[in-house]
Amino acid sequence: IFSLVKASEGGAPLYLQLKKNIEDAVQRGVIGPGDALPSERDIAIKADISRVTVRKAVQDLVKSGILVQRHGSGTFVAPRMERVEQSLSRLTSFTDDMARRGMSASSVWLDKGIYPPSPDEIMILGLSAKELVARVSRLRIANETPMAIERASLSLAALPDPEAVGSSLYSTLDKTGSRPARAVQRISAVNLVGADARLLEVPEGSACLHIERISYLASGKVIEFTRSIYRGDAYDFVAELRLAG
Ligand code: 16G
């Protein structure tokens, strides 16, 4: 992988050669999904090129989704994505969904706290302008793969202490008898860019699903307003349809 032909010996630009060699190695299975690449420094030494050149090749491969970079732990061959089939007619939680599939659910916390509400939150959660709102934002992970970013807003009546949320929001709500009984979900298409694309480890501009869920208690009171981004390459949303009439 790391033996390159110098320009003086008629070789193509070094970063292109390195890029192609890595691409070929992934294609031929020499390195497989989830395998770690040597550090930038080690590649530079092995290939006898500058770290800037290594970085350029690696960045290109990250952009095209062949490699993924995890903060602090290095660069890996992107895991092979198994699609998850998600029913659109059952109100479930991410933790339950993954458990049912025998996958382990985990989260990286992006935010949890109490804030002055946005106009959307005031309107949807039916807050007064003086009330504060609880927000919990997480990157949701199945086994090792980042699947979705979820940003949930709840009234303090429903979630007085966002700090108390552990691995599952719905099981925290269970404790106060506030697990939603019904929800309305709106799904639209987005192309992901910037920090969200990096969190989900997908190339810039990837097709993703934006899902907005408004959940209600049996009493009809709104309990949750969540905006999520789900990976387009990981999810199939499935609903059963019946003849109208
Ligand atoms: C689901 C819900 C999300 C809810 C979360 C609770 C969608 C699009 N979103 O992921 O609204 O907050 O489950 O999961 O389905 P948890 O109990 O595992 O925290």
- Taking the CA of residue 213 as reference, the ligand 1 atom at the shortest distance is 11
**CA 108 to CA 103: how far, in whole Å?**
16
For ligand 1, atom 10, name the residue with the nearest CA: 94
Q: Give me 45's structure tokens.
A: 């030494």
- Taking the CA of residue 167 as reference, the ligand 1 atom at the shortest distance is 19
pLDDT of the residue at 78? 86
Ligand 1 midpoint to CA 16 (Å): 42
Alpha-carbon dihedral sign for residues 138, 140, 146, 151: negative
Q: Give me 226's structure tokens.
A: 């969540």
Q: Write down the CATH number for the domain with range 84-238.
A: 3.40.1410.10
Ligand 1 midpoint to CA 79 (Å): 23
pLDDT of the residue at 245? 82
Q: Which of 138, 139, 130, 135 is nearest to 162 (CA)?
A: 135
Q: Give me 17's structure tokens.
A: 């050669």
For ligand 1, atom 16, name the residue with the nearest CA: 168
- CATH 1.10.10.10 in the chain, residues? 7-77
- CATH 3.40.1410.10 in the chain, residues? 84-238
Q: Give me 235's structure tokens.
A: 């999810």
Look at strands 133-142 and 206-216 and give their pairing: unpaired
- ipTM value for the complex: 0.97
Please name the CATH architecture into which domain 7-77 falls.
Orthogonal Bundle (1.10)
**For 143, left (φ over 0), alpha (ψ -120 to 50), or beta?**
left
pLDDT in tens, the chain (245 residues): 888 888 788 888 889 999 999 999 988 889 988 899 999 999 999 989 999 999 999 999 988 788 988 878 899 998 877 788 999 999 999 999 999 888 899 999 999 999 999 999 999 999 998 899 999 999 999 988 899 999 999 999 999 999 999 999 999 999 988 999 999 999 999 999 999 999 998 888 999 999 999 999 999 999 999 999 999 999 999 999 999 98
Ligand 1 midpoint to CA 224 (Å): 10
Best probe residue, ligand 1, of 84, 92, 94, 140 (max atoms within 8 Å of C-beta): 94
Q: What is the pTM of this model?
A: 0.80
Ligand 1 midpoint to CA 130 (Å): 27
Ligand 1 midpoint to CA 94 (Å): 5
